[in-house]
Amino acid sequence: MIPVIIVEGLTKIFKVKSKSVGFFGKLKSIVWPKYSDVIAVNDVSFEIKEGEIVGFIGPNGAGKSTTLKMLTGILFPTKGVIDVLGFNPHKQRTKLAFKIGTIFGQRQQLLYHLPPIDSFNVFSKIYEINSAEYKERLSNLVKLFNLEKYLNTPVRKLSLGERMRCEFVASVLHKPQVLFLDEPTIGLDIIAKKKVREFIKKLNEAEKTTIILTSHDLDDIEELCNRVIVINEGKILYDGSLDKIKKKLKYKILDVYFHEQIKDIPKIPNAKILEQETFRIKLQVNRSKISVIELLDKYFKNYKIDDIIIEDPPIEEVIEQWY
Amino acid sequence: MVLSVSKYFALAKADFFEKLNYFGTQVFSSFFICLVIFIFFNIWTAIYAGKGIIEGFTIAQMLWYLGVAELIVMSSQLRWIETISEEVRTGIVASMLLKPINYVFSKLVLHMSNFLYGFFTSGFFVIFVVYYLAGPIDVLPRAVVFSFISIIFGTLLNFVILACLGFIAFWIEDSHAIFWIYQKGLFILGGMLIPLDVYPEWIKGAIINLPFSFIIYNPAKLFIQFNFLEFLRVLFWQLGYIALFSVILFVIYQIGIRRLQINGG
């Protein structure tokens, strides 16, 4: 598949004013300000192919949003090459704007006091979508998002979830080839998050839209992304499938449900008890030292077992290993 | 095309509909202008006691002048300095760069549409109250047309100055002080409280050609004492100032945006 985004040796260094302490220090920093360099993104390279959903994950200040801003053209890189859909984002930002869509979870683009339909009409003009195409596109998106009954309700009266779905529609009206999503599910409840994720999936499947996503909600990443880029202190720590990260895991979570009351659980080396109830025990097993089968055979063979659940640890813990 | 007219028209139209949600607030602020005009009426009635004309103005002309001046100021959305600087500080300017639209142009269109909305809704009340208190004055239809053109150019000039001041937020964090100084400058030096003719000659000479007077005093005076040559003189100065401040605005905006793009929001 064709790469739609090519990034080579991307570096972003911010100059940050160092603040001095005390009155004279402050006075001195006004007259002779001192700046220090903060490396937000450090020699990052990757390619993203058409139709991929890529998750950018990392702690706060890792460089995710800065990378996204450079890809969209609103930040100049200090060094490196960026090619998005054949455009150099910071030199051809306006041309690129017609081809990409963006959602910044904490920023609203809809007109607050008007119904979403009015905002959609404005966006259709801003993106210069022809009238017939716009009508057809809007009707499809409204169906996809179940927005029929909210179209004429003022945005201020919509719930956060309904508003977010409208934000999505506004961002994809012009059929962007690449969609940048910065924390798209922030502040949403579980049901709204689920709907947003469903929409992202549908959009990706139906239109082969390439989606780049940053999120602190790792469920977003697990459910949507076939590829993750783990970034910390401006450097890429991992670029590949989520499964591969999981395979590198040292631990498995073992949840065992017994038919009878459990007593006298022996001390199990290489396994940590996470939860214990009368008929259940939940363990974290270091599988590099002991296999699950071996553990069950060695320590629980005298118990009648009803059910066993083997899980990967939460993705948060997986990522923690990288940091 | 980033500068295609239809997208800015759509923005202005949506903004107009959004404003209609607050029509009651607009009516309320119109009442406030009427109250101010009533106070002016009482002050100037006392000042005019025994005098027919002051500095070329009859009392009726003075009240019509103050009505138009007040209307210009109240419709002028001076708080745009704070709006623009807020958008710079919160990064809205940066997110606007992601749309195929020119930020400054979109602000200009919204500023003008807001002005026209305020001008026509409050204008209705102002005409009614000034007519009731001061009675009619002789105004030629062309005086209405040309002074309105002058008011529009004055508003354009006001916008470019406001935008220049608002974009200083790229460097400083709080533009409240700038807003305060500009607002007071406009009130006093622009001729909102009294026509500049009433000032002592040396003060009038010093401030008559400042940009403030081409936003309020000159367009308002054209309405009551129209002279086509004076209209051309005012237009010449307005266009000159608009060109000058547009260049300053362009430079400030380009440097500011570059700074934003280099050093983040």
* DSSP character string of chain B: -TT-HHHHHHHHHHHHHHHHTTHHHHHHHHHHHHHHHHHHHHHHHHHTTT-SEETTEEHHHHHHHHHHHHHHHHHS-TTHHHHHHHHHHHTHHHHHTTSSS-HHHHHHHHHHHHHHHHHHHHHHHHHHHHHHHH------HHHHHHHHHHHHHHHHHHHHHHHHHHGGGGT-S--HHHHHHHHHHHHHHTTSSS-GGGS-HHHHHHHTTSGGGGTTHHHHHHHHS--HHHHHHHHHHHHHHHHHHHHHHHHHHHHHHHHHHHH--
Question: Among residues B136, B173, B6, B117, which one has the least CA distance to residue B61?
Answer: B136
pLDDT (0 to 100) of residue B154: 96
Measured distance CA(A117)–CA(A122) in Å, rounded: 9
Put simply, the answer to whether A98 touches B18 (Cβ < 8 Å) is no
Given a cut of 80, is residue A196 above it in pLDDT?
Answer: yes
- Domain range enclosing B102: 5-263
pLDDT band at B84 (very low <50, low <70, confident <90, very high): confident
* Residue numbers in A near B9 (CB within 8 A): 125
Residue of higher predicted confidence among A129 and A290:
A129
Query: Which ipTM value was assigned to this complex?
Result: 0.80
Mutate to test the interface with B, among A74, A119, A181 (most CBs of B within 10 A): A74
* Residue numbers in A near B261 (CB within 8 A): 74-76, 90
Given a cut of 90, is residue A318 above it in pLDDT?
Answer: no
Mutate to test the interface with B, among A113, A178, A179 (most CBs of B within 10 A): A113
Lowest mean pLDDT across A283-292, B43-52, B194-203: A283-292
Q: What integer best gives the mean pLDDT of chain A?
A: 85
Mean pLDDT of B231-245: 97
Mean pLDDT of B192-202: 92
Beta-carbon contacts of B215 under 8 Å, excluding residues fewer than 6 positions away, are B72, B76, B154, B155, B157, B158, B186, B190
pLDDT (0 to 100) of residue A122: 92
State which residue of chain A sits closest to B16, comparing Cα positions: A114
Q: What integer best gives the mean pLDDT of chain B?
A: 89
* Residue numbers in B near A93 (CB within 8 A): 97
pLDDT (0 to 100) of residue B2: 59
- A69-78, A185-194, A243-252, range with greatest mean pLDDT: A69-78
* Residue numbers in A near B98 (CB within 8 A): 72-74, 97, 100, 102
Given a cut of 80, is residue A155 above it in pLDDT?
Answer: yes
Mean pLDDT of A195-203: 87
Alpha helices in A113-228 (DSSP H): 116-126, 131-145, 160-172, 190-207, 218-224
Given a cut of 70, is residue B264 above it in pLDDT?
Answer: no
Q: Which amino acid is at B147?
A: S
Lowest mean pLDDT across A137-146, A293-302, B228-237: A293-302
pLDDT (0 to 100) of residue B188: 92
Put simply, the answer to whether B95 touches A118 (Cβ < 8 Å) is no
What structural domains does chain A harbor?
Answer: 51-77+88-246 (3.40.50.300), 250-322 (3.30.70)
pLDDT band at A244 (very low <50, low <70, confident <90, very high): confident
Residue of higher predicted confidence among B233 and A66:
B233
* Residue numbers in B near A40 (CB within 8 A): 264
User: Which strands make up the sheet holding A100-104, listed edge to edge?
Assistant: A100-104, A178-182, A210-214, A53-57, A227-232, A235-240
**SS3 (DSSP) at A298:** helix
* Residue numbers in A near B258 (CB within 8 A): 76
The pTM assigned to this predicted structure is: 0.80
Residue of higher predicted confidence among A183 and B41:
B41
Lowest mean pLDDT across A15-29, A208-222, B90-104: A15-29
Mean pLDDT of B193-212: 92
pLDDT band at B184 (very low <50, low <70, confident <90, very high): very high
Mutate to test the interface with B, among A75, A131, A172, A212 (most CBs of B within 10 A): A75
State which residue of chain A sits closest to B265, comparing Cα positions: A75
Given a cut of 80, is residue B219 above it in pLDDT?
Answer: yes
Lowest mean pLDDT across B32-36, B123-127, B173-177: B173-177
Mean pLDDT of A72-80: 89
> A75 CB near a chain B CB, below 8 Å?
yes
Domain count of chain B?
1
Given a cut of 60, is residue B265 above it in pLDDT?
Answer: no
